[in-house]
Amino acid sequence: MKLRPKQPSSNLLDVDITGMIDVVFLLIIFFMTTAQFARMTRADIDLPQEAGEELDSQMSAGIIVNIAEDGSIIVEQQVIDLNRLVRKVAAEVALAGDDASNVELTVRADRNLSAGVLNDIARGLAEAGLRGVRLATEPPRGGGS
């Protein structure tokens, strides 16, 4: 009588997870890169504290205009003047088929910015064809009522 060692069951499947690991690493790289891009579009600005309206994360931010306390206008990490901003927005409106409602623009203005400077910028954006913009705020600290 020959005794054979019991052979492993062939019912177990060999699962190759190499593809899944590749996809996970690609997703990690993607999210790290997009987080850097999001950080680059924001200048260090002290935003006004207001509860404001919470927007869906699905909404596009569009053009982000940062306005520092000294009145300098920062778009895409470049300091530009008001005339260049107006030309840029007018070009975006033209690309949208002269329909300004298709152009999204968010203004991030420092809380200590002069209202006159903000009015001048709003007037320039109106000349470019925009009738409404979003003004970024941050929620009040403390969360109290």
Domain annotation for the chain: domains and CATH numbers: 63-135 (3.30.420.270)
The conformation of residue 96, written as its DSSP 8-state character, comes to T
Cα dihedral 60, 70, 130, 85 sign: negative
CB count in 10 Å sphere of residue 118: 16
Residue 16 CA, chain-centre distance (Å), reads 37
Residue 45: which of 112, 115, 132 has the closest Cα? 112
pLDDT at 11: 64
Which residues on neighbouring strands pair with residue 110, listed in sequence order?
A: none
Instruction: Please state the pTM of the whole predicted model.
Output: 0.59
Strands in 73-75's sheet, in edge-to-edge order, are 78-80, 73-75, 63-67, 105-109, 134-135
Ordered per-residue pLDDT tens for the chain, 145 residues? 566 766 655 666 777 889 999 999 999 999 988 887 766 656 666 666 666 666 655 456 678 888 888 888 888 888 888 889 888 888 888 887 877 777 888 888 888 888 888 888 888 888 888 877 888 877 777 654 4
Angle between helices 115-127 and 82-95 (to 10 degrees): 40
Three-state SS string over 46-76 comes to CCCECCCCCCCCCCCCCEEEEECCCCCEEEC
DSSP string, 16-30: --HHHHHHHHHHHHH
Residue 94: which of 64, 129, 126 has the closest Cα? 129
pLDDT at 10: 60
